[in-house]
Amino acid sequence: MVERRNKPTALATTPGLPPQPQVNFSHSNSRVTAVLPTGDSVEILLYGATVISWKNRFGTEKLWLSDAAKLDGSKAVRGGIPLVFPVFGTSPDHAATSKLPQHGFARNSRWEFLGKSSSESTGPSDSSVKLDFGLSSATLDDEVKKLWPYTFSLIYSVTLTPENLSTSIVVTNDGDQPIEFQVLMHTYLRISDISKIQVTGLEDSEYIDKVDAAKAKKQSGAVTIAGEVDRVYTPAKGPSSPVVIEEEGETVFSIVRDNLKDVVVWNPWTDKAAGMGDFEPKDGFKNMICVEAGSVKDWITLDPKDAFEGAQTISD
């Protein structure tokens, strides 16, 4: 047999596809996890479509999750990013949502995983993955339908890149009457020491101080935390200007919003944390701050067949 001088070597030299994000189900298909080739990861509980973990490539957790959080679908999750819809808190004077539980039903409903999409990447550093979740009046629990009898659909998307985590929601009015609602992404950020935190980007902004009889106030300078804080800000600079969380002068998170005009800043501090059965450890308030993008000061009115979209992007 004659030895060929130039043997075909295509199989050996053809470059393989770059590594792709991996998406898996776990815990009896109740959770979806996505891991990028870089090692960044995100985990979402189908109950509430609640993001319960966001880790960077070093495995550092970016979200605060209570040690006593219920992850079995028995109640809303304490920590991560619960989704508030269609009411923020309770609103006994608003007829359409007056019968709903605190923060509405989105965080207490089981969502459907609609699928994933990932970016075309030339290498691990520019890879991303988007996970889509759905909830609608067709899949809503019958008891909840009685409390909020509107025809609607929600698509909630969680997008992970090596640089940031984005969450977006599309609300569609599929019925024949207007819908009024509020929406909020109740993000619990993990920090090292609350006494060393300041939040910038809210200077000169009007806010409602829920700890002080819901008085209207105006922020001067950076926000610092030295006691219970529960404030609804309407940032003076608008959604595209970042709200920045700094720890000892170093930026640890930056949040940019799209079509969500309000920002809630919350920390329960000692007494309130002690009174919440699912808040553990009790001094966990020292390691978390909620900076929540939403539209909650007023009501969004959505006409029949119209859609609303809002989003946040958190960079670390």
Q: Name the nearest CA neighbour of 140 among 80, 85, 81.
A: 85
pLDDT, mean of residues 306-312:
98
Residues marked active site are found at 186, 292
Q: What is the per-residue pLDDT for 72?
A: 94
| Phi/psi of residue 304, nearest 5 degrees | -50, 135
| Closest C-alpha to 298, from 232, 242, 241 | 232
- pLDDT-above-90 percentage for the chain: 87
Cis peptide before 239 (omega within 30 of 0): no
pLDDT at position 1, please? 47
Please, which residues bridge with residue 22 across strands?
35
Q: Which residue has the tokens 């019958």?
A: 142
Q: At residue 127, does pLDDT exceed 90?
A: no
Structure-block tokens of residue 259: 């079509």
Average pLDDT, the chain: 93
More confident residue, 308 or 4: 308
More reliable by pLDDT, 130 or 119: 130
List pLDDT tens digits, range 157-210.
Answer: 999 999 999 999 999 999 999 999 999 999 999 999 999 999 999 999 999 999
Token pair in block for residue 152: 């609607």
Q: What is the pLDDT of residues 30-77, one digit of tens each?
A: 999 999 999 999 999 999 999 999 999 999 999 999 999 999 999 999
- The arithmetic mean of pLDDT across residues 272-287, rounded, is 96
13 pLDDT tier (thresholds 50, 70, 90): very low
**Percent of the chain clearing pLDDT 70 (strictly above):** 92
